Amino acid sequence: MPELPEVETVRVTLENEIRNEIIVGLDLYYSKIIKNELEWFIYSITNQKIHRIDRMGKYLIFILDAYAMIIHLRMEGKFYIKTDEPIDKHEHVVFHFKSGRNLRYHDVRKFGTITLLNINTYLDEYPLIQLGREPKNLDFHHFFEMIKNKKTTIKQVLLDQHIVAGLGNIYVDETLFLSQIHPTRIASSITIKEAEIIIESARQVLEKAIELGGTTIRSYTSSLGVHGRFQNELNVHMKKGEPCPVCKTEIIKIKVGGRGTYVCPKCQH
């Protein structure tokens, strides 16, 4: 699944390619991806100019003339820019531009979502209103107050987008490794000092991953052939059986909240 750094890479790549394009038509091959009434969506988006592309957490936000188009890529959503090539069976939404090019949304699992909202109110509506802050904007005191009574594991808390926006499985594993905190720790046991360490570690991990274009693992690659390089910097994620980069203890894989989780049993006691 693309996480915050991968989505940021997609944002930058797309904005460089399609900024100032004008949408003149739309083809839908799997309409359930659109979360608005379809006739209204098609009518409203026609002749809208793409002024820029923003991001909040894992959501892409296409800023148009009168609307904000909110897109979540979910597990395997991707974008491709094409002209006259035949439609691929996994290309479900095609935006036609005045320039003759088109932007195609490709999603093997069909889990992605596209929502069109008023440009003046989109930040106060679902889905963005539900998001917590990203680590770069999250004060550790505020984070501590949110988790101090939580009886779930610290990993599950960090994956909760209502609490911290943008962290997914890869970057939570890496954050907790840098923090030297075991992922099965109950969140209410985290001290305020540990909360500070977690937030600072999350910032470091995400900043480095964004710098390197995200992580290319399994089915995820960015749009337009952009591949991340952060997989070369991973300390524990996907490293089962390999030595810990700090203490050389063998990294193990466990399940936390149903998610595969990589841990150094010595550093993260």
- In the residue annotation, 58 being an active-site residue is answered as yes
Q: Where are the beta strands (DSSP E) in the chain?
A: 23-28, 52-56, 59-63, 67-72, 78-82, 91-97, 102-106, 113-118, 252-256, 259-263
- In the residue annotation, 136 being an active-site residue is answered as no
**23 token code pair:** 């949408």
Q: How many CB atoms lie within 10 A of CB 38?
A: 12
Exposure pattern of 18-36 as b/e (b: 16+ CB <10 Å)? beebebbebebeeeebbeb
- In the residue annotation, 259 being an active-site residue is answered as yes
* Residues 35, 115: Cα–Cα separation, whole Å: 5
Nearest to 194 by CA among 257, 137, 160, 148: 148
- Find out whether the peptide bond into 265 is cis, omega within 30 degrees of 0: no
Q: Which of 2, 5, 135, 183 is catalytic?
A: 2
- In the residue annotation, 3 being an active-site residue is answered as yes
Q: Which of 58, 78, 155, 239 is catalytic?
A: 58
Q: Is-contact 159 257, C-beta < 8 A?
A: yes
Q: Which of 3, 8, 76, 174 is catalytic?
A: 3
Q: Which of 17, 259, 265, 266 is catalytic?
A: 259
**232 token code pair:** 């070369």
* Residues 23, 63: Cα–Cα separation, whole Å: 12
Positions marked active-site = 2-3, 58, 259
